[in-house]
Each structure stands twice: as structure tokens, then as C-alpha cells.
Chains A and B, each alone.
Chain A
Amino acid sequence: MYGWTGNILRVNLTTKTYKKEAYSEEFAQTWVGGRGFAAKILYDELKAGTDPLGPDNKFIVALGPIAGIPAPNTGKAVVAAKSPLTGFYGDGNLGTRVSEHLRKAGYDALIVEGKADRPTMLYIEDDKVEFLPADAVWGQGTYATNDWIYAKYGKGVGVLNIGQGGENLIRYAVVRSLEGRAGGRPGMGAVMGSKLLKAIVVKGSRPIPQADPANMKALGQGDLKKVGRIDKETGWSIQSTTGVLSFCNEVAGLPVRNFRKTHHPDAWKIDGERLNNARIATYGCPNCTMRCGITIHDKEGRESELDYENIGLLGANLEIFDLPQVGSLNYLCDEYGLDTMSAGCVLGFYADAIDHGATSGDFKFGDAERAKELLRMAAHREGKVGNLLADGSLRMAREFGHGSEAYAMQVKGLDVAAYNCKFIPGQALAFGVAAIGAHHREAWIITFEIKHTTRESYGPEKAAKVIELQRIRGGMFEFLVACRFPWIELGWSLDNYPKYFKASTGLDWTLDDMWTRADRIYGLIKLHFLREFPDTTRKADYPPAVWFDPANADTEGPIAGKVLDAEKYDGLLQHYYDQRGYDRRGIPTKATLDKLGLGREAAAVEKYARLY
């Protein structure tokens, strides 16, 4: 077997033991890697009802057959576990040198089980695994923790760590790496924290097995240069993702005031142009030649690295149109190890709930100083308010009552990314049916909706586009594992990826072969969901109710008077189910599961729920 190392490292923090486990070629070809490996392992090894923050949950780091090998943009890893935010499978990806080092140590995945008896740092160097005390940095933020690790091992090692957010079990705490990178929005950092696992450090020294190393090197390194050249020619990374803010503001798709408004006259103050003008540095992931981390000085003079989601949700959504202040909120999230997107939604929801009388409090939209204080309180679960904010917007809404769940901006418990779909039906569907909750990384169809269809349409073409993008983005890029940015942003052809895959594994797969695996993984994540929520209905795939509320319609601008139509949305959802071969609850039918090669997994779920 080439491309895959064929091994998984299983570590138990309770017993301080570890073992190297070989997996079969059939497993490799069925699940490929990354999200596929993680979803399969967690499906087989967790029972329904497992406490996400208990010792029986498992924390997974998973890589794919091109991960860590120099090629466009392969310096990423998938982190996964049962989510304390959503209650079922959760994952995320982040740029990290762990990608290269874990593969060079001889593993394609790491499974962490149990719970340590004291704050622990896991150190992996080829065949060696050490369980080292991390008391010195327990209670410290991610920057200090990273510095502590670098002082011990140098800057070249692979690092994953958590901040106070993960330690204090904030349900949207993330895993951090390389100072500026973060991943695992549905609380993957809290799962590490629940195991008293402060950090993972990896150093590998062996070659990654490849079918055609010479071709892989020529192709991968040559294409990295080409991607870098296209980036320079097109100027994409001058503003990177942050140009999206102006686009969303123009087309009434920006989250403003907890998504109540869709555009704002002051949005320009925090846009990509201003961000580029304020830039002091640029950071990026390993194996990347189109680095997107625009870094500025925040209000307190610290370095803060921002992307669109950060300025959208910590800026516009909170009506904070002051770039250094947005930088400060972003810095605090990064320091505490909190998901910036959920944090922006949680604070926005809190201000909105106070505005609407669902709760009392002293936080108002636009109050950056109080927002900083609230982030600190959330990260430390300080007092009643800190504890409320730490549990995420859905749990807050259930606590507040008064109909506030309608404007808790989440799907399945995961907060909505920075796209206001008040009148963008296809993207609302993309959020509704995203595998792990309202994440944008699986399907983003706003340009398609506006340019190639009409915004008013709820037709099958939009469901088809969501599926097409789920296969590419939530599927292939998540199991190979690589970043999607060269593809749309620079026009880098998808046809390149089967070439990298072949040079690495020797297997001649077409893109259709990739989609087969992607569909299987989506089907399996649905079974994860069904196992935990056997009484689920199609309402679980609905976006926040406020997007259907005529009283919430814009009073001026491009979509004045318009909101999503509930009946038509349901029809669009049905198009999606029909095209996917899912039943009326949004669960794959038995026939579909058979077709996807999920017969055994289907039999396992029937202990908990019915299949049709």
C-alpha cells in the first residue's frame, strides 16, 4: 500500500499506554482518510449516548493520502470527536505541521482515549510516545502554550493545543496550531480539555510512502509554485477571503446585528481594503503559496490574524465597525481557543435577546469593551453569564425562552457562518443540510444563486449544486486532506487532485470515484446523527426560524420586504432528499445505504432507530 502509512496510533490517557494498529487497504480505499477515517472510527467505537465531555469520547486527528506531502495546499489535518455542542459527530480542519509530522512518524490517524490524571502533553516522535506533565501551561492561553512548546522542541515540530476555552469545556472551544490556525468548531478543543490534554506535539522523521515519489515531488512542488504565481497575478491574497465582506454587503448577505440586518453603511470600515492597509504581517499554513492570514495590530497593540468569518461575525454581526477592536475580539478568541464564528453568534444572540426582552443584561450591539469582557467570562465560565455564554446560542435560547430560539443563529446547535440567508434560499439549504451543523466549508453557493439562477428560485438546481459542492468541499478536500482555496479562488482545476492522489497511492481514481466516497461519508454522518437523535424530523435541516419571519424583512435595500418562504424551503429540502436518496426525515433510505456500501453501518443503527 502506497500513499497511506497503513497505521493508526491509539493512545490511552487513563492507562498511559499506546499501540500502533495496522489497518487494511480495504479500509483505506473505502474511507480514504481525514473526515472519512474519523467518521468511521467514531461510528464503530462510540456508543450512542456517550458523554462528549466524558472519558469514553475519543479525540481523533486524521490525515489523508496526500496530506503533509508538498502539493497545493496539503498542510492541513482533520480533528474530530463527538461534539459537546451538537451532540453528534463533529469535526474541523486546521493548518498544522502535525499533518506532515504525524505521517512521517508513520501514522495516518491518532485516536486519543480516556482521561489523564493531570494536565498532560502528548509527545510523539516516530515510535516513541510520552505522557508529559503540562501543569506549567494549564490555565494559559494558546500563544503562551505554543511558546512553551517551541522553547522545548523548536519551531519545526507539529503542535495542536488548547487555551482556557478548551480547559473550561466551552462547547465551542477549538484546537489551535501554528499561532494563528484553529479548527474543530463544534467543541473539539473542549474534548481535549475534558481529557486534560493540553497539547499534542509530533515529530516524525521517516519518508511518507508514495507510489511515485519522483512524480509526486515534481508535480506537487511544481504546482505549488504555479499556484503561487497565479495568486500573484490575480492578487487574490492582497485581501484574501476578506473581500467577501464587501460582496456580502452589496448583495444583502452580510450578518449585521445578530443577522437582523443584511448590510450596513459602515461595513467599509472593516473591509478587506482597510484590513490590507493595516496589515503588519501575513501568515499561512504549511504547503501553501497563497497565504490568507492578514495580520494587524489590535486595539491593545497585539498581533491579530483575521479572515472574513472573523470580521463578519465579530465585527458586522456585533455592529462593531472599528478594525482594531474587531482585531482585539479575534485575538481573545484565538488566545482562549474559542471558535471566532460561534463567539460572534453567541454575543450577537445575547445582545439580541436583551434587546427583545428575553433576558436582562448590560450588553449592547457596538460595545466592544463589554464584548471583550464577556469573552473572558465565557472562556473562564465566570459567573452565571459566563456559564451561559460558554454553552452556545441554542442552550442559551432554551434557558431564556420567550421564543428566543427563533433567532439563535444555529443549525443542529452549530452557529451559522457569516452569510445572512434571509433571502438566499440555496445557501440556507447548504447550512440546513451541512453534515455537522451550519458550517460554510461544505457548500457555499451564493455566487451561483445570484449569478446563474434567480434568488427567488427554490428549484432542484440549487439542491443539485449543494450536493455537487458537498462532494467536493465536504468530501474530497476533507478526506484527501487539503485546503480548497486554490480551486475557486484561483481557478485551479479539480482534475489536479486525482493526479496527486495517483502519484501518492498509485491508484487511478476519477473524480467520480471521489464522489462515491464523499457520498458514503455523508451517509455515515447522517447515521451518527440518527443514532443520537432517533426521533429526528426534517425540521433538524431547517435554518433559523427568524429567516422565515416577515417581521424580520429588510425595510430597504436589495431584498426589502423579502424573507425565506417556509413552504418553498421545505420543497427545496425535498429536492435535496430526493437527489440524495434520503427519506422524508433526511435520513438515507435502506436502498441508498446499500448503494453507498453502508449495509453493516445501517444494521448497527437499527438497534436505536428505524430505517425505511
Chain B
Amino acid sequence: MKIQVKMIGPLMYEAGFSEKEIEVPAATTADSLLDLIKVSRQRPKIVTRNGRAVAPDERLAEGDRIAISPIYSGG
């Protein structure tokens, strides 16, 4: 299935892209998506699905928009 992935802040340099559509296996979860993207697992981050928080074991769906962001403390 195809999903849209948006990398935020410095994570886009780590992953090598800012935003793109990617093809992932049907059973991909929010957590397993991180293995498909070149981004450190150690680094604290927040993952959202269509603008809402997503649990690590939640299965993604065709057409989802996933954003992966570092933790900020405001501007």
C-alpha cells in the first residue's frame, strides 16, 4: 500500500527526504515503519497519523499521512 511520509526538522536530513509517497507492506505498523526509514530509533520522536497520535502497534492504512518529528519544547 502507499502512504505519504513527512519528516520534520533535522529528521529529514537523517532520512534523506523531506516528504514522499512510499510503498509499504500491508501489515506495516507505526513502529515497523521506522525500520523502513533511515532514522535513528534511539532519538526521541513523535509519530502522527493524519494529524493524530498513533500507537506503535497501530496498523497503517492506504493513503495515510504519517509525520515523524523530533521532540520540541516550543519556539
Q: Which residues of A contact B (CB under 8 A)?
A: 234-236, 238-239, 241-244, 246-247, 250-252, 263, 272-273, 307-309, 312, 417-419, 440-441, 444, 446-447, 450-451, 454-455, 473, 484-485, 487-489, 491, 557-559
Docked pose: A480 CA to B63 CA in angstroms? 49
Q: Are B72 and A309 in contact (CB under 8 A)?
A: no
Question: How many interface residues does chain B have, given as a range?
Answer: 20 to 34
Docked pose: A417 CA to B75 CA in angstroms? 9
Docked pose: A462 CA to B13 CA in angstroms? 33
Whether B32 is near chain A, meaning CB under 8 Å from some CB there, is no
Of the A-B pairs whose beta carbons lie under 8 Å apart in the complex, a sample of 6, sorted by A's number, is: A238-B9, A238-B13, A246-B9, A312-B75, A450-B53, A558-B52
Q: Are B9 and A243 in contact (CB under 8 A)?
A: yes
Question: Contacts of A487 on B, CB cut-off 8 Å?
Answer: 73
Q: Are B52 and A308 in contact (CB under 8 A)?
A: no
Kindly name the residue among B50, B73, B74 whose own CB sees the greatest number of chain A CB atoms within 10 A.
Answer: B74
A-B interface contact total, Cβ < 8 Å: 100
Question: Contacts of A308 on B, CB cut-off 8 Å?
Answer: 74-75
Contacts known (A246-B6, A450-B48, A557-B51); A484 close to B14, Cβ less than 8 A: no
Minimum CB distance partner of B18 in chain A:
A273
- 1/0 per residue B1-37: CB within 8 Å of A? 0000010111011100010000000000000000000
Whether B61 is near chain A, meaning CB under 8 Å from some CB there, is no
Q: Give chain B nearest CB distance to A569 CB in angstroms.
A: 20
Question: Contacts of B43 on A, CB cut-off 8 Å?
Answer: 234
Pairs A-B, 4 closest by C-beta atoms? A558-B51, A243-B9, A308-B75, A235-B10
Q: Are B46 and A450 in contact (CB under 8 A)?
A: yes
Contact for A558 among B50, B71, B75, CB less than 8 A: B50
Q: Are B44 and A243 in contact (CB under 8 A)?
A: no
Contact for A234 among B10, B69, B73, CB less than 8 A: B10
Q: Are A559 and B51 in contact (CB under 8 A)?
A: yes
Q: Are B51 and A447 in contact (CB under 8 A)?
A: no
Other A-B contacts than A236-B10, A489-B73, 5 sampled, CB-CB below 8 A, are A243-B9, A251-B51, A418-B75, A450-B46, A473-B73
Minimum CB distance partner of B71 in chain A:
A447
Question: Contacts of A273 on B, CB cut-off 8 Å?
Answer: 12, 18
Minimum CB distance partner of B74 in chain A:
A444
Q: Give chain B nearest CB distance to A562 CB in angstroms.
A: 11
Question: Contacts of A272 on B, CB cut-off 8 Å?
Answer: 9
Docked pose: A308 CA to B44 CA in angstroms? 20
Which of chain B's residues 49-75 have a Cβ closer than 8 Å to chain A? 50-53, 65, 67, 69-75
Q: Are B50 and A491 in contact (CB under 8 A)?
A: no
Contacts known (A251-B51, A491-B44); A246 close to B8, Cβ less than 8 A: yes
Docked pose: A451 CA to B45 CA in angstroms? 9
Minimum CB distance partner of B47 in chain A:
A451
Docked pose: A589 CA to B49 CA in angstroms? 44
Question: Contacts of B74 on A, CB cut-off 8 Å?
Answer: 241, 244, 308, 417, 419, 440-441, 444, 446
Docked pose: A224 CA to B48 CA in angstroms? 33
Q: Are A250 and B75 in contact (CB under 8 A)?
A: no
Q: Are B72 and A488 in contact (CB under 8 A)?
A: yes
Q: Are A451 and B75 in contact (CB under 8 A)?
A: no
Question: Contacts of A447 on B, CB cut-off 8 Å?
Answer: 46, 71-72
Contacts known (A234-B10, A250-B69, A450-B46); A241 close to B75, Cβ less than 8 A: yes
Docked pose: A473 CA to B74 CA in angstroms? 11
Contacts known (A250-B6, A557-B51); A488 close to B73, Cβ less than 8 A: yes
Docked pose: A488 CA to B44 CA in angstroms? 10
Contact for B72 among A235, A243, A417, CB less than 8 A: A243
Q: Give chain A nearest CB distance to B29 CB in angstroms.
A: 16
Docked pose: A418 CA to B75 CA in angstroms? 8
Q: Are A451 and B9 in contact (CB under 8 A)?
A: no
Docked pose: A252 CA to B65 CA in angstroms? 13
Q: Give chain B nearest CB distance to A330 CB in angstroms.
A: 13
Kindly name the residue among B12, B65, B72 whose own CB sees the greatest number of chain A CB atoms within 10 A.
Answer: B72
Question: Contacts of A242 on B, CB cut-off 8 Å?
Answer: 75
Docked pose: A311 CA to B14 CA in angstroms? 24
Docked pose: A241 CA to B72 CA in angstroms? 8
Q: Are A455 and B69 in contact (CB under 8 A)?
A: no
Minimum CB distance partner of B9 in chain A:
A243
Minimum CB distance partner of A560 in chain B:
B51
Contacts known (A239-B9, A558-B52); A244 close to B14, Cβ less than 8 A: no
Contacts known (A234-B10, A236-B10, A243-B9); A455 close to B52, Cβ less than 8 A: yes
Q: Are A243 and B10 in contact (CB under 8 A)?
A: yes
Minimum CB distance partner of A251 in chain B:
B51
Question: Contacts of A441 on B, CB cut-off 8 Å?
Answer: 74
Docked pose: A440 CA to B73 CA in angstroms? 9
Q: Give chain A nearest CB distance to B70 CB in angstroms.
A: 7
Minimum CB distance partner of A276 in chain B:
B13
Q: Are B44 and A244 in contact (CB under 8 A)?
A: no
Question: Contacts of B52 on A, CB cut-off 8 Å?
Answer: 251, 450, 455, 558
Q: Give chain A nearest CB distance to B47 CB in angstroms.
A: 9
Kindly name the residue among A251, A272, A417, A446 whose own CB sees the greatest number of chain B CB atoms within 10 A.
Answer: A251
Question: Contacts of A236 on B, CB cut-off 8 Å?
Answer: 9-10, 70
Question: Contacts of A444 on B, CB cut-off 8 Å?
Answer: 72-74
Q: Give chain B nearest CB distance to A264 CB in angstroms.
A: 13
Question: Contacts of B8 on A, CB cut-off 8 Å?
Answer: 243, 246-247, 250
Question: Contacts of B72 on A, CB cut-off 8 Å?
Answer: 241, 243-244, 247, 444, 447, 488-489
Question: Contacts of A309 on B, CB cut-off 8 Å?
Answer: 75
Q: Are B10 and A246 in contact (CB under 8 A)?
A: no
Question: Contacts of B70 on A, CB cut-off 8 Å?
Answer: 234, 236, 243, 489
Q: Give chain A nearest CB distance to B13 CB in angstroms.
A: 5
Minimum CB distance partner of B49 in chain A:
A558
Minimum CB distance partner of B72 in chain A:
A244
Docked pose: A420 CA to B23 CA in angstroms? 33
